[in-house]
Amino acid sequence: MIIYNERERVFKLDTPNTTYMIGIVDEENFVGHIYYGRRLREADASCLMRTEEPPFVPSKNNRERCSFYDCFPFEYPANGLGDYREGCLGVRTAAGHVGCLLSYRSHEIIKGKPALEGLPATFGTEEACTTLKLVCEDNYAGMQVELLYTVFHDTDVITRSVKVINTGSDALFLTKVYSACIDMDNRDFDMVSLHGSWARERHIQRKPIGYGIQNVSSFRGESSHQDHPFLALVDKNTTQENGEIYAMNFVYSGNFRAQAEVSQFDSVRMTMGIHPENFCWKLESGESFQAPEVVMVYTDKGFDAMTGIFHRLYRKHLIRGEYRNKKRPILINNWEATYFAFDTEKLLSIAKEASKLGIEMLVMDDGWFGKRNFDDCALGDWTVNEDKLKGGLKYLVDEVNKLGLKFGIWFEPEMISPDSDLYRAHPDWALAIPGRPGTESRQQFVLDLSRQEIVDAIYGQVAAVLRSANIEYVKWDMNRQLSDIGSCGLPADRQGEIYHRYVLAVYQMQDRLTKEFPHLLLENCSGGGARFDPGMLYYSPQIWCSDDTDAIERLAIQEGTALIYPLSTMGAHVSDCPNHALGRVTPFETRGIVALAGTFGYELDVTKIPQEDREMIPDQVAMYHKYNDLVREGDYYRIASYAQNHRYDCWQVVDAERDEALVTFVQVLNRVNFKSMRILLKGLDENKHYNVVFVNDEGIEPKVYSGDTLMKAGLLIPYWKGDFKARLIDLRAVQD
């Protein structure tokens, strides 16, 4: 619900449990942030902008206009005129001047949610959401800025995006366009973010914020392994079950900055948007620039509530396509099984054994094209290597289909190898700075996707392969960051557009792919989890979570990922041991249980693993089919964190009716001479009784407990001998 109080000049945006308020002040129509928090009945909080105290508004005290700019809680602050905090908008005129200040011009309240041209974004019907378009202007710079706010009626989410329009006669240069800002009083917040590196993505970090700027960011051309486009400010006492959280997540897959700045007056400005490093967008007269979307969540009920809000929004209002609410096929990928050493006979031998065990799809990974026998060549040559695949791709796919399996394939469409036919024919197709030696990574360069002819050529190659056989799954990979940011297809004054144009091109290609092949299951990947973000989820319902498939390492990775993203989005496989990344050995049973909290599949040579492991696969397949609807659609709760306690991990999913629940408990390290572990379950109906079954422990008899007892008194988990043990606990409501 969105209302405008014309007398008070206040906008009030209400979700089911929150209120967001914006005020227009003074005769110059400054746009200020009033309030974001628990839902208010009345729109009477405009005093929070403090315009009735020094330095007052400029119409009352123009001699201190600069001081006003430097403390007013701007709804969308610009820079260069006296607000010395981090601004959201940077503009340089054709004359080289900087400085911008926005004033309210008009507004429109719209049923539903407009799409963002060329960009992924959440969506909703006219019944599901309402949008405020707040039009601001700077007549001196010749510019309008449209601030879009969408309120979802079924969850506590407000999304924001920004469009900048050049209304003047000369070109403007945008040097910064953030998508969201909140100016509010600092309440001694902690900052929660997600950090990592290759093979250890999205580990949760929580730390106090102090005066000045603290941020997380990426200018690697991707959302990155290292930082994540998510930021939350939380009360010092916030826990899983209680406490205030202000969270932002960026629906974008490229460079970003998310930050909190505490000012001299103990206010905090929280911002998120495209990273301004090496960004400069030339905006000709009459043109517009659309910034990506930010998802904002407020709750006073702790991290479990925040997680539930994000999960419900993304399942219902972001993920699209045939597999949005559908069980995914159990796949086996040949990468860790064979690497590049495979041919048709080897793949069919894996497929034959896999089909006997209940696996449903074979995925052929890197090495099937050009002269690709190692990772040093042939990227860009997307033609089948028939020396490896005797009889061609269609023959292989048909034979796999005859075994009752679907077929999937790997691509890395954004890259080019120096040793490739494509590079020899078109060396100018790689991003490069003229006269400077190219920076290789994995012995490959990045294609210049800012040029439409290259986008069309690469998409044409990929689509031709997909048209040639019954391919039902694509793993889209990106194995290096961007560097050497130069394009021979753009003039000098547009070289600062490359990063963003690159991301737009990736979106364009994936949009074309999903429209031409609507039944295709697309899984994004970027050296594991370097591009696990909401922008990618708009095109693919699942993303490869990490190249680290070790079950114990995956606990922290999957915990951080599930803080924001539904379990159904997390690509998770059972892999061989010793683990290829770590050399660690964990029980096959534990590997299966940890992978169940994701899309579930296998990354191994099923013809070579120990017989006792192979014999477990049918039971794991049955387990997946029994619990996947619950895992995919249920509400997720974090009970314990191995990353924090260093001993055990525990999470739970519960169905919407509170009739079924599944608890996963992983005993990472055993302890000698201790009693059983007591855990408090969550999300149950306290008035129902549940039959509690330890699924993989026949020594524990099923018992019936009330939901009230399980949540308040707890459930005892006996210790197992040994480390790296996992249990599933099945709860089903019973008739009283």
Any idea which residues carry the catalytic annotation?
477, 547
Closest CA to 147 of 270, 239, 33: 33
| Cα 479 off chain centre by | 18
Q: Give the separation between CA 304 and CA 301, rounded to whole angstroms.
A: 8
Q: Give the separation between CA 547 and CA 529, rounded to whole angstroms.
A: 7
Q: Give the separation between CA 87 and CA 64, rounded to whole angstroms.
A: 20
Q: In 10 A of CB 240, how many CB atoms?
A: 18
Q: Give the separation between CA 622 and CA 313, rounded to whole angstroms.
A: 29
Tell the residue number behind the tokens 């040559």, with chain if given: 381
Q: Give the separation between CA 306 and CA 635, rounded to whole angstroms.
A: 12
**Are the C-beta atoms of residues 422 and 462 closer than 8 Å to each other?**
no
Alpha helices for 540-641 (secondary structure H): 551-562, 588-596, 611-614, 617-633
Q: Give the separation between CA 250 and CA 203, rounded to whole angstroms.
A: 18
Q: In what order do the strands lie in the sheet with 521-524?
A: 570-571, 542-544, 521-524, 473-476, 406-411, 361-364, 331-333, 601-603, 574-575
Type of residue numbered 382: W
**Are the C-beta atoms of residues 520 and 540 closer than 8 Å to each other?**
no
The residues pairing with 345 across neighbouring beta strands, listed in sequence order, are: none
Q: Distance between terminal CA atoms of the chain?
A: 41
Q: Give the separation between CA 551 and CA 537, rounded to whole angstroms.
A: 24
Give the single-character DSSP code of 215.
E
For the chain, give the number of residues: 736
Q: In 10 A of CB 673, how many CB atoms?
A: 4
Closest CA to 134 of 34, 44, 11: 11
Sign of CA dihedral 644, 192, 249, 495: negative
Closest CA to 393 of 464, 329, 459: 464
Burial class (CB in 10 A: 0-12, 13-18, 19+), 232: buried
Tell the residue number behind the tokens 């917040």, with chain if given: 189
Q: Three-class SS of residue 492?
A: helix
| Cα 623 off chain centre by | 27
Torsion of CA 225, 227, 231, 232, to 10 degrees: 90
Contacts of 523 (CB under 8 A, 6+ apart): 473, 474, 475, 476, 540, 542, 543, 544, 571, 599
Closest CA to 620 of 641, 595, 639, 643: 595
Closest CA to 245 of 191, 312, 167, 174: 191
Type of residue numbered 516: E
Task: Take residue 173 and report the two structure tokens written for it.
Answer: 């240069």
**Are the C-beta atoms of residues 384 and 393 closer than 8 Å to each other?**
yes
Task: Take residue 219 and report the two structure tokens written for it.
Answer: 């200018």
**Are the C-beta atoms of residues 4 and 107 closer than 8 Å to each other?**
yes
Tell the residue number behind the tokens 């422990």, with chain if given: 697
